């Protein structure tokens, strides 16, 4: 299946998707960034994946930018659009257009800690566990059907940095797995998720 990745930064999750691609049922056919010069684009270049920047600052409003992004993505004819550290709120039109084909990974155990600063919030609230969630994207931020979650214990000595490091290591395992399971047809879904295979791991 054809996968397009959207990012805004470092692209460590893109790298995990690239690394797992040979053993998976997906092909990353394009990478788009809304920010120029980010390291994620270099990762795409190194893997010979077509990539480009569509800078949101070149557009007068979110709707126009998203429409341009949508048309550019459509030219690649993707089965799935995978957000990998894409730090833009998406417009309803964009989300509706890719409904059921648009997924994200969020660094918390949703529905806990939607939005930014999840590590700070988990530590401030004294959470005993934290983690990451792969989910479908819907109009409501970080609220679409959950595909896969992974959790780990928070240690008393944890800082934002140590917690983030451990959660990111888990993200790099579960995101390629989730994308592969979708692309291989082992799970289906949109508003809710059904595993067709009882042993995804
Ligand atoms: C990941 O932690 C993901 O959960 C969040 O953005 C981060 C992206 O990191 N949505 P990177 O840019 O892929 O390194």
Domain chopping of the chain, boundaries: 2-195
Q: Residue 178: exposed, middle, or buried by beta-carbon count in 10 A (0-12, 13-18, 19+)?
A: buried
What is the pLDDT, as a whole number, of residue 190? Answer: 87
Helices (DSSP H) in 47-130: which residue ranges? 62-74, 92-97, 118-124
Instruction: Judge whether residue 189 has pLDDT over 80.
Output: yes
Confidence of residue 197 (pLDDT cuts 50, 70, 90): confident
Mutate to test the pocket of ligand 1, among 18, 104, 107, 110 (most ligand atoms within 8 A of CB): 107
Confidence of residue 201 (pLDDT cuts 50, 70, 90): low
Instruction: Judge whether residue 147 has pLDDT over 90.
Output: yes
pTM over 0.90: yes
Calculate the dihedral angle through the C-alpha atoms of 64, 4, 190, 107, rounding to the nearest 10 degrees. Answer: -90
Asked if residue 142 has its Cβ within 6 Å of ligand 1, the reply is no
Contact predicate 169/127, CB 8 Å = no
113 is catalytic: no
Asked if residue 10 has its Cβ within 6 Å of ligand 1, the reply is yes
What is the pLDDT, as a whole number, of residue 95? Answer: 96
Query: According to the annotation, is 87 in a ligand binding site?
Result: yes
Which value does ipTM take for this structure?
A: 0.96
145-164 burial: b if 16+ Cβ within 10 Å, else e: bbbbbbebebeeebeeeebb
Task: List phi, psi (to 5°) of 154.
Answer: -90, 130
The mean pLDDT of 170-196, rounded to a whole number, is 93
Rounded Cα distance between 83 and 159, Å, is 26
**Structure token digits, residue 39:** 């390291």
Catalytic residue chosen out of the listed positions 97, 106, 113, 130: 106
Rounded Cα distance between 26 and 28, Å, is 7
CA 144 distance to own-chain centroid: 13
pLDDT tens digit sequence for 29-58 = 999 999 999 999 999 999 999 999 999 999
At the fourth CATH level, the homologous superfamily of domain 2-195 is Formyl transferase, N-terminal domain (3.40.50.170)
Asked if residue 131 has its Cβ within 6 Å of ligand 1, the reply is no
Which ligand 1 atom lies nearest to the CA of residue 83? Answer: 10
For 12, what's the count of Cα atoms within 13 Å in the CB-facing half-sphere?
11
């Amino acid at each position: 299946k054809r996968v397009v990745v959207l990012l805004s930064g470092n692209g460590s999750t893109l790298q995990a998707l690239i690394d797992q691609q040979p053993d998976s049922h997906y092909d990353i056919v394009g990478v788009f960034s809304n920010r120029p010069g980010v390291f994620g684009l270099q990762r795409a270049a190194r893997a010979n994946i077509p990539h480009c920047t569509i800078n949101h600052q070149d557009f007068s409003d979110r709707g126009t930018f998203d429409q341009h992004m949508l048309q550019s993505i459509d030219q690649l004819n993707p089965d799935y659009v995978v957000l990998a550290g894409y730090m833009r709120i998406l417009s309803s039109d964009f989300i509706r257009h890719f409904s059921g084909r648009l997924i994200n990974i969020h660094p918390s155990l949703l529905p806990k800690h939607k939005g930014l600063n999840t590590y700070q919030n988990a530590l401030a609230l004294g959470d005993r566990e934290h983690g990451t969630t792969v989910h479908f994207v819907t109009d409501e931020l970080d609220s679409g059907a959950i595909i896969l979650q992974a959790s780990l214990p928070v240690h008393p000595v944890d800082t934002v940095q140590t917690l983030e490091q451990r959660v990111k290591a888990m993200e790099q395992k579960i995101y390629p797995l989730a994308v592969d399971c979708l692309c291989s047809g082992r799970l289906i879904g949109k508003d809710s998720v059904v595993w067709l295979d009882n042993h995804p791991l």
